[in-house]
Amino acid sequence: MIHPFFAVVKKELGSVMKDRTIIISILIQLFIASFSSGLLLGMLSLYDADTIMRFSGAGIRIGVVGDASAPLASLLTERGLNTQTFPTLTEAQSAFYNGDVLALVDAPQDANGLIEVKLYLPDSDTVSSLIRMVIQEPLKQYENVLRAERGIEVRYTDLNGKPATSFEFVYSVLIPMLMFFPAFVAGSMSIDMITEEVESKTLQTLLSAPLTISGMVGAKIVAAVFLAILQCSAWLLLMQMNGIEIQNQGWILALALVIAGITSTSAALSAAFLQDRERSQFIYSLLLLAGVGLSTGLNISPITTLSRLAVGDAYTNGWNVMIFAAVFAGLYFLLLKVSRRLMI
């Protein structure tokens, strides 16, 4: 005979398979994890200048005031941009406002020999951001040319050591997103599981079994967290199959479990206080957004900790995970005290 606690867990896991919203969210995560390499290329094309230049550099038309043989125009052309030179600023501005060129670069020299580079960009924020990305490297090179002409040998573009953009994206965006999104869904599931019993007035029937109100709430949280950990384990496996190397996988799963516990417990607290699905989901969403926003400014945020664990940081280990486990324990203790409100 199954213990009532595990019977509730089994019941909730079975009901999840009937919820289309949860199934769709899991399938979306499955797509991201399964095709993480392809997603990586697609996302990098949004902000990595080299990727943009390989696929659409010739379509970015830049107007330059001056001679085509001038250093700035030559550097822009070498970068792969479609440059068009204009003898005067007036003609260049006319072409810019008519849409013949997407951006305009002017580098006039004053009476003291100082050169001020002026960049004219379109109103569209998306196009402007794109142009600033691809034009950044030629402008740095032009800066070095001007330094060399004046006998200055400082070259900031020669400095090495900055990690690759793909490395930053994988370990600071992709992996945290896949590990924590199931936790966010688990919190929403906890609210649905608890408020469904209250709204359908089946709570008393459920408690007729040898199970306390705290045990019933705990069983529902266990079901939500269990599903989240199953997803995280699958996503780690699929990312490895995509060639992404991930360190400290055991601690990463432990952290994902703790965060899922924190979100589920916080959501259950909201449901216990409000006993209404819509209001509970709204408050949970606000708390989630506030928590994520505040944690990004902390050195011990879950995202930072997860990223450091994934890259094998020597100063990040299980003790960092224990900090969040302590938060989870405190929230769960509070939930045990508050869950009695469901009986009112």
The residue ranges of every structural domain in the chain are 4-34+163-343, 49-158
Residue 59 has pLDDT above 60, yes or no: yes
Q: How confident is the model at residue 114 (pLDDT cuts 50, 70, 90)?
A: confident
How many whole angstroms separate alpha carbon 172 and alpha carbon 194? 34
Q: How much is the pLDDT for 262? A: 94
Q: Please count the helices (runs of H) and the strands (runs of E) in the chain.
A: 15, 4
How many whole angstroms separate alpha carbon 70 and alpha carbon 66? 7
Residue 55 has pLDDT above 50, yes or no: no
Candidates 211, 203, 188; CA nearest to 341 is 203
Residue 120 CB: number of other CB atoms within 10 A? 17
Tokens in use for 212? 């306390």
How many whole angstroms separate alpha carbon 224 and alpha carbon 16? 9
Q: How confident is the model at residue 164 (pLDDT cuts 50, 70, 90)?
A: low
How many whole angstroms separate alpha carbon 57 and alpha carbon 65? 20
How many whole angstroms separate alpha carbon 178 and alpha carbon 265? 20
Tokens 């994902």 appear where?
A: 256
What is the helix (H) or strand (E) element at residue 85, kind and residue range?
A: strand 82-86
Q: Which CATH superfamily is domain 49-158 in?
A: Periplasmic binding protein-like II (3.40.190.10)
- Say if residues 308 and 316 touch (Cβ distance below 8 Å): yes
Lowest mean pLDDT across 42-46, 214-218, 326-330: 42-46
Q: How much is the pLDDT for 248? A: 93
